[in-house]
Amino acid sequence: METTQGQSTARTGSGKTSALSANDKSHRSHTSIVIRRLLRSPQAVVGGVILITLVLVALAAPLIAPHDPLEMSVVDQFQAPSTQNFFGTDEFGRDVFSRVLHGAQISLRVGLMATLIAVGGGTLLGMVAGYFGRWVDSVGQKIMDTLLAFPGLLLALAIIAVLGPGLRNVLIALGIGGMPYYARLVRGQVLSIKEREFIEAARVVGARHPRIMLRHILPNTVSPLIVVGSLDLGWNILAAASLSFIGLGAQPPTPEWGFMLSAGRDFMRDQWWISTFPGIAIVLAVLSFNLLGDGLRDAFDPQSRD
């Protein structure tokens, strides 16, 4: 594999040679080292276990949910948690447990899609800017600086204002809102990689720009992208829940966690279960990505610990 040389040094950004690349380890063994380090980190293991459970729950939701998440029943409204309804029922008599299970599917999907849009778009922009340099880079930088001037959720809110509320628009908005960060990250990586010898070698043997970018540079930007991406997935789930909470995301009767929380707000005092369980679900999902992301960062770059 022609890309392995740069694999392990790329992530330090400044071209510092680590012990790994000096021995020219194969790609496979590098990955297995990272996985072994990951398994030794208790927090990464906890995060991984929570995440795998959530993914299984999300996939199996239609099979394991005891009730239809949308089925209303006047006689069953505001039932406290019981063996019939593990998490109780809401103001429409819907089973909160079933709704939380289905919500896992929605939140994970929105988080994943938004992150993929951000990573994909950002990587493309950063790669082109960093690779071609000159005016392409300076124009790209100005655009990124402009987008970064809209902090936190502001860019997403502005995009939703244009596209209109709804879960699909939320994931588009979060995806676009995340792009500048990835563009910046990838651009920095590309700048340090493109001056290295193996890129020059590829150019000498006649490789074209797209091939150099895809086959030689892209693989070397993967590890920081995985770390940032996993942390970002947690953030996107949180952000999507926030936007649904304020009414700009999921619309009724969608069993989305943030939206369920906002619906349960009026009943917090006496029917605590309506908002508590979706809240716990959000915390678990976001926590799993944060633990995993932290663990991944340490595994890819042990020096970054502390």
Partner 1 sequence: MGKYILYRLLGSIPVLIGVLFVVFMMVRMVPGDPVRIMLEGRPTTQEQRDEVRQEMGLDRPIPVQFVTFVGGVVQGDLGNSYRTTRPVTTEIAQRVPNTAKLAGAALLVTVVFGVGTGVMAAMKRGSWLDFTTMGTSILAVSIPNFWFGMMLMLLFAVTLGWFPVSGADTWKHLVLPALALGLRSSAVLARVTRSTLLEVLSLDYVRTARAKGLRDRFVIYRHAMPNTLIPILTLVGLEIGALLTGAFIIEVVFSYPGMGWLLIESIAQRDFPVIQGVVLLTAVSYIVINLAVDVLYAFTDPRIRYS
Q: Which residues are at the interface with partner 1 (CB under 8 A)?
A: 43, 142-143, 145-147, 149-154, 157-158, 160-165, 234, 238, 241-242, 245-248, 258, 261-262, 265, 268-269, 275, 279, 282-283, 286-287, 290-291, 294, 306
Q: How far is the CB of 155 from partner 1 (least distance, A)?
A: 9
Q: How far is the CB of 156 from partner 1 (least distance, A)?
A: 9
Helices (H), 11-153: 19-22, 27-40, 42-64, 96-132, 134-148
CA distance 97 to 277: 8
Nearest CB to partner 1, comparing residues 86 and 150 = 150
Q: How far is the CB of 105 from partner 1 (least distance, A)?
A: 19
CA distance 99 to 90: 10
Nearest CB to partner 1, comparing residues 6 and 293 = 293
Q: How far is the CB of 21 from partner 1 (least distance, A)?
A: 25
Helix (H, G, I), strand (E, B), or coil: what is residue 89? Answer: strand
CA distance 1 to 11: 18
Nearest CB to partner 1, comparing residues 122 and 234 = 234
Q: Say whether the peptide bond before residue 253 is cis (omega within 30 degrees of 0).
A: yes
Contact criterion met (CB below 8 Å) for 107 and 237: yes
CA distance 157 to 155: 5
Nearest CB to partner 1, comparing residues 152 and 206 = 152
Residues 6+ apart with CB under 8 A from 93: 72, 73, 74, 75, 76, 77, 78, 79
Q: Minimal CA–CA distance to 300: which of 206, 230, 235, 196?
A: 230
CA distance 57 to 64: 8
Nearest CB to partner 1, comparing residues 61 and 274 = 274
CA distance 217 to 215: 6
Q: How far is the CB of 278 from partner 1 (least distance, A)?
A: 9
Q: How far is the CB of 258 from partner 1 (least distance, A)?
A: 7
Residues 6+ apart with CB under 8 A from 238: 282, 286
Nearest CB to partner 1, comparing residues 134 and 269 = 269
Nearest CB to partner 1, comparing residues 1 and 139 = 139
Nearest CB to partner 1, comparing residues 120 and 247 = 247
Q: How far is the CB of 10 from partner 1 (least distance, A)?
A: 23
Beta strands in the chain (DSSP E): none
Give the distance from CA 238 to its chain's centroid: 10
CA distance 72 to 107: 22
Q: How far is the CB of 135 from partner 1 (least distance, A)?
A: 14
